[in-house]
């Protein structure tokens, strides 16, 4: 089984609707991340978590919220989706230590019409 899975993998929605993306990891990693990737911008950090119920904002957090009620799950919510949130979203996780290699999910492609 994959160490980290994202769902849904593809979603098309309309402006103004709420959207939740789910990230599930089986690595018992402490840290989890949500990034968005758009052409010319690389991976931009939306929110990250450093433990259950412990989250913090990244560089592009406006319009997004997150929750982490269990070690293995990290949810990203768009309360009212906008066309500017059309993107590919990647979840990642890592454990503790100096060599904190990120494990990535396969990505979720979101289109907001």
Partner 1 sequence: QKEVEQNSGPLSVPEGAIASLNCTYSDRGSQSFFWYRQYSGKSPELIMFIYSNGDKEDGRFTAQLNKASQYVSLLIRDSQPSDSATYLCAVPFGGYQKVTFGTGTKLQVIP
- Candidate ranges 17-25, 61-69, 78-86, 95-103; the one touching partner 1 (CB under 8 A): 95-103
The residues pairing with 11 across neighbouring beta strands, listed in sequence order, are 110
The residues pairing with 22 across neighbouring beta strands, listed in sequence order, are 7, 75
**Residue (19 or 89) nearer to partner 1, CB:** 89
**Residue (17 or 56) nearer to partner 1, CB:** 56
**Residue (106 or 113) nearer to partner 1, CB:** 106
Residue 11 CA, distance from chain mean position: 14
From the CB of 59, what's the least distance to partner 1, in Å? 7
Q: Within 10 A of 77 (CB to CB), how many other CB atoms are there?
A: 14
Q: Is the dihedral of CA 33, 41, 88, 63 positive or negative?
A: positive
From the CB of 103, what's the least distance to partner 1, in Å? 9
Q: With contact defined as beta carbons under 8 Å apart, do 112 and 83 qualify?
A: yes
Q: With contact defined as beta carbons under 8 Å apart, do 6 and 91 qualify?
A: yes
Binding to partner 1 (CB under 8 A) within 28-87 occurs at 31, 33, 35, 40-45, 48, 50, 54, 56, 58-59
Using CB under 8 A, list all residues that contact partner 1. 31, 33, 35, 40-45, 48, 50, 54, 56, 58-59, 90, 92, 94, 98-102, 104-107
């Amino acid at each position: 089984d994959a160490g980290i899975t994202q769902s849904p993998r593809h979603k098309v929605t309309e402006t103004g609707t709420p959207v939740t993306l789910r990230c599930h990891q089986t690595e018992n990693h402490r840290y989890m991340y949500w990034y968005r990737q758009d052409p010319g911008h690389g991976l931009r950090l939306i929110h990250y978590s450093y433990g259950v119920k412990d989250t913090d904002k990244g560089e592009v957090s406006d319009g997004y919220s997150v929750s982490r009620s269990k070690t293995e799950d990290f949810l990203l919510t768009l309360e009212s989706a906008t066309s500017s949130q059309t993107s590919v979203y990647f979840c990642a996780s890592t454990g503790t230590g100096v060599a904190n290699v990120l494990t990535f999910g396969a990505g979720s492609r979101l289109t907001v019409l």
